[in-house]
Structures are given as structure tokens and as C-alpha cells.
Structure 1
């Protein structure tokens, strides 16, 4: 049984690796009119009023391109050789009035006139939000030593004191033999 399980696991792992490798070496997606979908965006999802960095390696080493973000209302921008070898990059700002949705951003390589496209996703919430530290008490139903209400805390302490005094009195009576 163990041998069969191992064989099945190897078969599934091998199949998954083959599918992943085939996806990694697949050719770029070409549209009907010869577009190449090779534009990358940072951040992956943009927010209205936020900056977007566009990059591509489709124009070759040292290549430049003219970009157009008119679909989202940002207008034209330039992609120039960037800090990453073989990539051209540029930047534009998403207008504050932009609505959530997916917008096609286009660039054209200066050297060979190739048209490059990519889909920019605009959302109302940023994927780069700062973590918010927790505040307040935890609502577990058990209560806490220092709850948010000092009156309830004082009443709880008083109830515990009465219970402790009563328990001590009962134990003292029992020890003397008075009984209950």
C-alpha cells in the first residue's frame, strides 16, 4: 500500500512539474492584431490617485517605448532603459477620478514599432496597506481583570471578596465542629 501511495505521489508531482514548466516556457500571448502582452505593473493593482510603474523587456536591450494610459485617463508616458538589465520602465499616476476596473495600457517600441499591451487593475483598496495594530479589549465572553468599565470591575472584585469571606467562615465552622 505504501509503495502505491508513493508511486501515485511521484506521478502527481511529476505531472504538476511538467505543467508548470510548460507554462513557464509558453510564448507570449498575441492578440488578433499582433499585440504582445508583455507590460508589467507595480503595484499589481493600482488605486485612484496612486503611481504605477510600467516595465517591459519586449523592446530589447536599451530599447525605449512610448506608452499610452489613456484608457484609465492618465495620458501618455515614456518607457526608457531602467535599472533592470534589458528592461524599459516608465511611470504614470492613475487619476483620482478613475473607477475600479481593468484597463488596457498600450506601449509601442521605438526601434521596431512593436505594440505591447497589458491589463491594469484599478481597485479602491490598495494591496500595500499598512498593518493596523489591534486596539481595545478582546471580546471572548470570559471577561478580563481590567475591563473597559471600572464599575463592573469593582463589582467583580467585591463579589470575589464576599465569596472568599463566606468560604473562609464555612471552613472555620466546619473545623470547629459546628457543622453547617
Structure 2
């Protein structure tokens, strides 16, 4: 009884510890004061993406990095909106679908802020499922020629009837 209670308490403690670990963010925004806004948050290869942040202060600029998606580095400069830095990059045509982390580092204090970009395929680049048959050399149940298919079915029917007739004669003792 004591072992069961100890296991129950240990399991509960592990569950609470795991829940506490899941509640904390896996990565932060550097100082926790501000974030990186990616617009549009969903893009297709070839799109221009705008990145803004208010984390770098009124006159702050930042160095952006979109290397995760393959776009490389870009600059965020102070914008017309007070306290915001803005920059742009283009999603390369070779970008694969997925979620990518975009990072900016403030020039004044080195604070890092992050945002996510979701890349999807454009309708023009959607993968098309294959159609038609594939020549594998194995053949199929229904070939391209209905006459050959009918002949194959007839041959199978004759073989089945002949085998049944031979088994029936053998069971009666007539011999072969």
C-alpha cells in the first residue's frame, strides 16, 4: 500500500513539473518587452514581407535575420510611426512550406526579438497528384485492351472447370 501511495505521489509530482515546464515559453523575445511583427504572417515564395518592432526604442534600428527561410539579413530602420523600426525582405522562390523564425537584434542594446513566418505553396505551385497508368511490366487486372482481358478471364474459367472435373473423377475412383 505504501509503494502505491509513493508511486502516486511521485507521478503527480512529475506531472506538475511537466505542466509547469510546458507553461513556460520555449524561447523568449529577449527582454520580454516587445515582439517582432511579421506581415503578412503567411506568405508564398516570392512575396515581400514587412517586419516591424517597437522593442528597439524611439530612435532604434535593428539588424534582421531571415536566414531560416533563406532570405538572409535585412535592416530595420526607424519608421514614421514613433517608436517603431521597420524592414522588408523577399521570401526566396526556393523556400519550402513550413514555419520559420525571423529574428531582429536591436542596435542600441542588443535585445533580440523574434516572430514567425508561415510559408505555403502558391496555388500555381500546388503539387498535382499523378494520373494515368504506370508501365511497370507487372500488368494489371484491367489492361488497356478489353479483348486481352476477356481472353484471360476465359482461360482462367476453363482452367478452373478442368481442375474441378479432374478432382471429381479422382474422388470417384475413375482414375485419370
TM-score relative to the length of structure 1: 0.50
**Aligned residue pairs: how many?**
98
Note the aligned Cα RMSD (angstroms).
2.2
Which secondary structure does the structure 1 equivalent of 2:83 belong to? coil
**Consecutive unaligned residues in structure 1, runs of 5 or more:** 1-28, 127-180
Using a 3 Å threshold, how does the CA distance of structure 1 residues 83 and 125 change in structure 2: closer, same or farther? farther
Question: C-alpha separation between the residues in 1 aligned to 2:90 and 2:107?
Answer: 22
Could you tell me whether the CA contact under 8 Å between 2:29 and 2:35 is conserved in 1?
no
**Residue 31 (structure 1) aligns with:** 27
Match of 2:70 among 70, 73, 87: 73
Which secondary structure does the structure 2 equivalent of 1:105 belong to? strand
TM-score relative to the length of structure 2: 0.51
**Consecutive unaligned residues in structure 2, runs of 5 or more:** 1-24, 124-176
Q: How does 1:1-180 map to 2 (within 5 A)?
A: 31=27, 34=30, 36=32, 38-125=35-122
Could you tell me whether the CA contact under 8 Å between 2:43 and 2:117 is conserved in 1?
yes
Could you tell me whether the CA contact under 8 Å between 2:101 and 2:117 is conserved in 1?
yes
Which 4+ stretches in 1 moved above 6 angstroms?
none
Please, which moves more after superposition, 71-80 or 32-41? Answer: 32-41
